Structure 1
Amino acid sequence: MKPTIHIIDDDEQVRESLGLLLETVGHDVLTYVSGDAHVDAAPDLTHAVLILDVRMPGRDGLETLLHVRTRSKNVPVIMISGHGDVPLAVKAMQAGANDFVEKPFVANRILSAIDRLGEPVDMAPDALAALTPRELEVAKALADGKPNKVVAHELGVSVRTVETHRARVMSKLGIRSLAELVRLILLP
């Protein structure tokens, strides 16, 4: 049984196109024009995945996410934004988002995020043990939302060196995005 997808976005075109895509692959879809509308409807979050825009009038995506987390610690939430940046992604992950996707996105990016959320995260400390001390230092700095330039300056290395370490970290951990790295580093 596929989860019901809750799309919460003030952009009608995003809601319609994303809803149609997800329905064509067999998901039930509920759409909401705002975080306030979702909170007011108080839908059942059992076997649901939320796709939540960060910037909306009224209750924004982060406020909505915090409200959702008071009702359910486990419902998967994918944050989407046309204004994504590393600090915003880190803030969303710290608030309890499971993934962060920048608009515009390709269909496969959203579909793979939904599929991946069903997989248990079993890496945590054991996976991090595979990193060298410097790679772990770089991974933690990146997970804190620091840009490559800042990490390079703090560690006294070149930006290219930080990029190389970042690539090795992603490869060793078998992850593809900064959001996955943040989630792994922030695991309790």
Structure 2
Amino acid sequence: MTVERLVHIVDDDGSVRRSTSVFLRTQGYAVENHSSGVAFLEAVGSLQPGCVLLDVRMPEIDGIAVLERMRSAGVDFPVVVMTAHGDVGTAVAAMRKGAHNFIEKPFERDTILQALEDAFALAEQADAQRLTAAAALSRIEALTPRERDVLEGLAAGQTNKMIAITLGISPRTVEIHRANMMEKLGVHSLPEALRIALIAGLGGNL
């Protein structure tokens, strides 16, 4: 799918919509604002294709439900979800529903730009070039058993602290295994690691 550099911001917080849209326009993006998940879904059939910057915490219908309805309707716009800081479980749930990436609020400007570019790039890949389950598993085979345990915990939506308790190790040791795991997978962010894990079938299917 060829995607124009258009961003649909879906957030019930007007100040977030305004500040984010002003910033993205200065970076050359076209922006359309939507004040709720309901408003976005009502309009989505007539919208120009673009990347959706989607808040997960909204009244009436939350971001996860918006993702479900988008996919049910066959709308395959790339989606970057905005989650609360440390809300790994919600981020994993969103990626299972088809989100391409996630960022944590409050986010840095460089973070949102990178997340959007990654989402556009993924959407523009031909199906044959997408990471297959076999390729994802091949990467995971390079991990030690403990590194894989940490990855599986993250893919299940657990925090570092929860993983540490489950494995009977310290949170600091989890951090070390997590850093080594990401280096071996060749990724630079948690969303990239989660995508590989979920494609491979760890912690549920993507």
TM-score normalised by L of structure 2: 0.81
Aligned-residue offset at 1:133: 2.2
Unaligned runs of 5+ in 1: none
Q: After the TM superposition, which residues 1-188 of structure 1 pair with which residues of structure 2 at under 5 Å, given as runs?
A: 2-44=4-46, 47-72=49-74, 74-82=76-84, 84-117=86-119, 118-119=121-122, 120=125, 122=131, 124-187=136-199
Contact 1:7 1:30 in 2 (8 A): yes
Contact 1:2 1:26 in 2 (8 A): no
Q: State the distance in 2 between where 1:32 and 1:178 align.
A: 27
Aligned-residue offset at 1:83: 5.6
Deviates more, 1:167-176 or 1:81-90: 81-90
Against the structure 1 CA distance between its residues 157 and 64, is the aligned structure 2 distance closer, same or farther, given a 3 Å change threshold? same
Q: State the distance in 1 between where 2:186 and 2:77 align.
A: 24
Provide the alpha-carbon RMSD of the alignment.
2.1
Q: State the distance in 2 between where 1:149 and 1:84 align.
A: 11
Q: State the distance in 2 between where 1:44 and 1:170 align.
A: 40
Unaligned runs of 5+ in 2: 201-206
Counterpart amino acid of residue 198 in structure 2 = L
Against the structure 1 CA distance between its residues 167 and 84, is the aligned structure 2 distance closer, same or farther, given a 3 Å change threshold? closer
Q: State the distance in 1 between where 2:47 and 2:192 align.
A: 23
Q: Which whole-Å deviations, capped at 9, do the CAs of 1:18-59 have from their partners, x for residues lacking one?
A: 112222222221110000001111245664110001111211
TM-score normalised by L of structure 1: 0.88
Counterpart amino acid of residue 93 in structure 1 = M
Determine helix, strand or coil for the equivalent of 2:137.
helix
State the number of aligned residues. Answer: 188
Deviates more, 1:160-169 or 1:68-77: 68-77
Q: State the distance in 1 between where 2:196 and 2:79 align.
A: 16
